[in-house]
Structure 1
């Protein structure tokens, strides 16, 4: 059971990093956090993967005053996403055709949703950015929707001002990612629950 969950966790994290590389190669706009990562990478002339690792670690520090407790998935998220993104970019050639870039963008959104469902569904803790959202929600009582919107608008604006790629992909991501994750996440959670039922004894009252 634990091996199955670990495989799902790390497969999901690697796929998430790959989806980031796909957004970069499509060059039609990325999700808010990656607009921010791209902006920071541009300012400091760093690989986006390195920026993702550093930003993830800094966001994780914000968990301390929020009294959030990281899990294996949280720490792995900080490290694996950036490494996977840089590795995928090294293997993925630039794309020139607008049609090909558009297809790559749509695929990136889908892969991102599947990856999110996999790593969250593994049950090893949320990523640092999601934990920041839930931590603020727990400490302030503000709704998750309001907190998430405020955080993502802030990083999106900051990233755009630093030269991050904002475009049609950013809008499509905002519209599609919620429903897609809602579709993917239960499948992975149900799959894990089924495995639990196979390994845990049935207690008859």
Structure 2
């Protein structure tokens, strides 16, 4: 069962990196964290994938005062997504034309939903950014939607000031991420098998 979970986790993370690359190549706007990562990449000259991994590692440091504990999925998230993003950007050429760019954007958003459902459904630990949200919720008692919205609004604003791409893709991602998560997470959630029922002793 662990091998199946671990395999699903890695596939989900690889697909997540591919979804980021598709969004970049579409050039119609990134998701909120993507805007922040892209802005940092523009300012520092570091590749987008390495920024994704680096920010994930720094967010893990914030887990310490929040008393969050990483799992295998958390550490894999920090190591895999950025590498997959850079590899996909190397493989995918820039595209021209609004129709093709729109196709890349839609594919990126749907694939992002699939990937998120897969790596969360594996049940091996939250991603650094997801854990930041749940940790703040537990510490403050605030509703998760307001915490998530507040964090994403902050990183979006900061990323935009750094030069990250904000556009129609940002809006579409924000509006669709909840419904896509609701659709895909149950499909990929792995549950431990139920124990076999004990044999009923026969009466003599």
Tell me, yes or no, whether TM beats 0.5: yes
Give the CA deviation at 1:61. 0.3
**Which of 178, 191, 196 is equivalent to 1:201?**
196
**Equivalent residue of 2:28, what SS?**
coil
- Cα displacement string for residues 155-185 of structure 1 (whole angstroms, at most 9, x for unaligned residues): 0000000000000000000111110110000
Aligned length: 200
**Equivalent residue of 1:196, what SS?**
coil
Quick check: which has more Rg, 1 or 2? 2
Structure 1 Cα separation of the partners of residues 198 and 70 of structure 2: 32
Distance 1:60 1:203, change over 3 A: farther
Partner of 1:157: 157
Structure 1 Cα separation of the partners of residues 196 and 165 of structure 2: 52
Aligned ranges 1:1-205 → 2 under 5 Å: 1-189=1-189, 192-193=190-191, 196-197=193-194, 200-203=195-198
Question: What's the C-alpha RMSD, in Å, of the aligned pairs?
Answer: 1.2
Distance 1:26 1:144, change over 3 A: same
TM-score by length of 2: 0.95
Structure 2 Cα separation of the partners of residues 158 and 173 of structure 1: 18
Give the CA deviation at 1:97. 1.3
Q: Which one has a larger percent helix, Structure 1 or Structure 2?
A: 1
Give the CA deviation at 1:46. 1.2
Give the CA deviation at 1:203. 4.1
TM-score by length of 1: 0.95
Regions of 4+ moved over 4 Å: none
Structure 2 Cα separation of the partners of residues 201 and 92 of structure 1: 48
Distance 1:99 1:136, change over 3 A: same
| Unpaired segments ≥5 residues, structure 2 | none
